[in-house]
Amino acid sequence: MTAIFITGTGTDVGKTFIAAGLIRTLRSAGRPVGGVKPVATGFDPAALADSDTGILLAALGRPSTLAEIERMSPFRFAAPLAPDMAAKRENRSLDFDALVDFCRRAIASNNGTLLIEGVGGVMVPLDERHTVLDWMAALDLPLLVVAGSYLGSISHTLTCLDVVARRGLAIKALVINETPASTVPMSDTMATLAQFAPDIAIVPLPRLSGAATGDGAFEKIATLLG
Ligand SMILES: Nc1ncnc2c1ncn2[C@@H]1O[C@H](COP(=O)(O)OP(=O)(O)O)[C@@H](O)[C@H]1O
Ligand SMILES: [Mg+2]
């Protein structure tokens, strides 16, 4: 039984895309897999299938019903903002202890690989005192870190790796997900990161379209996750 926390250098770097690809890969290998996206912002009940949770449910082969979404994403907020701000807009606050409890229960009841998608980047505030980093540290799970290949990503990525290491969290894999129209070649980004983070397994994921499967990238990541 394995649980992996999927985080990244920021929003829109590909956490959901990669979680869904991993779920499909593990399922087609006949391996039991589950997924949760505990905190969802920008949540629109009129577009359930388009939400991160809906995308993970589709990969899991389950329907995007409200009941399924509520089970996978109990902390939902309408505003497309960081969770602390999105909650404030609704005169609410995210209950950090309840969030950690929810994840612990999901981990305990999982009998395969459980993928937990975080929210935004590693230092996104969840409430007035906690960030995603505190959430990951409370769970003490190994991480899958997703980064882009845009100009500036190397600094964002090394900053992310540094704060994660300071909290003693283990990284199973760092995925460099190709940023469309980036001026920086993937291979250069990979080479530089390998120089500065020699102990971390780094996997490139090209921009995919249609039925493309990423030249075995998802299989490689799945193997690294164990
Ligand atoms: N490697 C890729 N190939 C094609 N589309 C991708 C890839 N990675 C991400 N995307 C697309 O980019 C957008 C942002 O990715 P997403 O997984 O939602 O990011 P995050 O979960 O980190 O916010 C989505 O529309 C997603 O389908
Ligand atoms: Mg996402």
Residue 17 near ligand 1, beta carbon < 6 Å:
yes
Tokens for 159, please give them: 């900053």
Question: What's residue 209's pLDDT?
Answer: 86
C-alpha distances (whole Å) from 130 to each of 19, 174, 199 are 24, 24, 28
1: amino acid identity, one letter: M
- 18 in Cβ contact with 54 (< 8 Å): no
pLDDT in tens, 109-168: 998 999 999 999 999 999 999 999 999 999 999 999 999 999 999 999 999 999 999 999
Helix and strand element counts for the chain (H, E): 9, 8
**Domains located in the chain, CATH noted:** 2-225 (3.40.50.300)
Residue 121 near ligand 1, beta carbon < 6 Å:
no
- 139 in Cβ contact with 39 (< 8 Å): no
Question: What's residue 226's pLDDT?
Answer: 86
Ligand 1, pocket-test mutation among 9, 15, 17, most atoms within 8 A of CB: 17
pTM of the model: 0.98
12: amino acid identity, one letter: D
Question: What's residue 79's pLDDT?
Answer: 98
Q: In 3-state terms, what secondary structure has residue 111?
A: coil
Residue 224 has pLDDT above 90, yes or no: yes
Q: CA–CA separation, 67 vs 92, rounded Å?
A: 22
